[in-house]
Amino acid sequence: MTMRKKQKKRLVKKRFIIAFFAVAFFVFYLLNFSFSKMVFEYSSGDNGDMPKKEVVHHIKTPQGVRGIYMTSWVASTNSIRNGLIKIAEETEVNSIIVDIKDYTGKVAFLMDNPKVKEFNSSENRIKDIKNFIKESHDKNIYVIGRIAVFQDPFLSKIRPDLYVKKSDGISIWKDYKGAMWLDPCSKEAWEYVIAIAKESESVGFDELNFDYIRFPSDGNMKDIKYAHCDTALSKPELLENFFYNLKYELSELSIPLSADLFGMTATNYDDLNIGQVLERAEHYFDYISPMVYPSHYPKNYNGFANPAIKPYEVIKIAMDTAVKRLITASSSPFKLRPWLQDFDLGAVYDAVMIRKEKQAVYDAGLNSWLMWSPSNKYTVDAFDKE
C-alpha cells in the first residue's frame, strides 16, 4: 500500500472517530437537557383505538404528594376552582384530584373514543379541560384524574346486561342508597373504563386514580348475582383479574396509576366481602390510597367508643400496619398515600383535628396524603404555608 493511500485511510478513520464522538456528545446533551425538566412530553401516537394526538405534557410526581379533591362541577367553574388553585399556590398543597367520571357515571369532558361515544356518557362539563390542566402545570400543580369505576348508574338504561343483578338474573340490584353497580367481572365494563383512562391521559392528566374498584356492599347481599363472574373464583381473585387487566392495557401510558381502597384494608387481612386485599392490589398500582377517615370506622374500633374523635390514633394504627404489610410483601411503603378527612362526621374537624391526621401519616414514616372534602371547602389553616 502506498504512503498516500495509508495517509488517506488514517484521515478517513480520524474523521469517523471525530464524527462519532460529536454525535454521541449531541445525544448525551439532548438527553440531559430533556430529563432535567420538571415537565416532560411525548406524542401519544396510535394505540389502535384512538387517533393520533398532539404532544402531551405531564408533570412528574412530587416526592411528597399533598393533594386536595376537586369535583368536576367546581373544575368547570373558574371563579370557584381558582380558589382551590390558590390554596395550592399559597400552602404545602401541590396536587389536585379532579373527577373524570364521578358517582353519576357521566364523564366530565367530551371524549372522542368510540366506546365512550357509543355509550354517550361524556358531556361538556369541564369545557376547558386542557387549558385547566395547562394552567395548573404552569403553577407546578400535579393533576390527578379520578375515575369512579364500578359504581355507575348511567349505563343502566342502555346496557343493563353489564350490571350486578338480583338473584332472578334480570332485575338490577341496588344498594341501600339506590346505587347501581357495573358487574366487576364484565369484560366490556373493563374495556369501557380503559377507554376513558386512555383518553384522560391524552389530555394531560399526570396520574389516573381508580375508585370504587370493588364488589358492592351495604345492600341485600342474599339477593345478588354476578352474571359475568366465574363462580369457581373468590372475590379477591376476581378483582385481581381486573387489576391485572387494567395494568396490562394501560402499560404503555407514561403516567402512574393509583387505587383507592377501603380504610380497613390497611388492618384487615380478609377481603371485607368486597374483594379488596391490600397485598392483592398493591402489585398492580404505583400508589395505594386507603380511605382512613376516622369517622368511617365502627363504634368501639380498637376500643375507641367514637373513632371520629381519635384521628391520630386511628390513622397511626392503620398506616403503621399498612407499612409493615408492604415491607413484608417486598414492596415499598412509599406507595401508600392515604385519604384524610376534612369534613364533619362524628366530630368537628377543625385545623387541630386535621393536623393530627397529617401527623399520624408522618409518624408512620410516610410523606404523602390526599384530603377529601365533598363540599370542596377546605380548612386552609390545617395546611402549612409555603
- Compute CA distances 326 → 144, 280, 282, 288, whole Å: 23, 11, 8, 11
Mean pLDDT in residue range 3-25:
45
pLDDT digits (tens, 9 = 90+) for 281-321: 999 999 999 999 999 999 999 999 999 999 999 999 999 99
Window from 27-31, 50-54, 145-149 with minimum mean pLDDT: 27-31
313 CB neighbour count, 10 Å cutoff: 17
Res 10: pLDDT:
52
The band of 7, judged by pLDDT with boundaries at 50, 70 and 90, is very low
DSSP-assigned letter for residue 98: E
Radius of gyration of the chain (CA): 24
Cell digits of residue 79: 371563579
The band of 53, judged by pLDDT with boundaries at 50, 70 and 90, is low
Residue 75 in 3-state DSSP?
Answer: helix
Mean pLDDT in residue range 55-79:
96
Cβ atoms of 234 and 174 closer than 8 Å: no
- Compute CA distances 121 → 116, 210, 229, whole Å: 6, 18, 25
Which is nearest to 292 in space by CA: 336, 339, 357, 333? 339
How far apart (Å, rounded) are the C-alpha atoms in residues 82 and 86?
A: 6
How far apart (Å, rounded) are the C-alpha atoms in residues 30 and 310?
A: 53
What one-letter code names the amino acid at 13?
K
Res 54: pLDDT:
74
Q: Where are the domains of the chain?
A: 64-382
Cβ atoms of 243 and 193 closer than 8 Å: no
What one-letter code names the amino acid at 111?
M
What one-letter code names the amino acid at 95?
S
In this model, does residue 6 exceed pLDDT 60?
Answer: no
What count of Cα atoms within 13 Å lies in the side-chain half-sphere of residue 276? 23
Which CATH number is 64-382's, of 3.90.700.10, 3.40.1190.20, 3.20.20.80, 3.20.20.70? 3.20.20.80
pLDDT digits (tens, 9 = 90+) for 146-183: 999 999 999 999 999 999 999 999 999 999 999 999 99
In this model, does residue 55 exceed pLDDT 90?
Answer: no
Residues whose CB is less than 8 angstroms from the CB of residue 129 and which lie 6 or more positions away in sequence, other chains included: 75, 108, 109, 203, 204
Res 309: pLDDT:
98
> 233-269: b or e for each residue (b if 16 or more CB lie within 10 Å)?
eebbebbbbbbebbeebbeebebbbbbbbbbbbbbee
In this model, does residue 326 exceed pLDDT 90?
Answer: yes
Q: What integer best gives the mean pLDDT of the chain?
A: 90
Among the residues of the chain, which ranges form H helices? 3-35, 72-75, 78-90, 114-119, 129-138, 187-202, 235-249, 278-282, 311-328, 351-363
Window from 11-15, 212-216, 323-327 with minimum mean pLDDT: 11-15
Residue 82 in 3-state DSSP?
Answer: helix
Cβ atoms of 96 and 74 closer than 8 Å: no
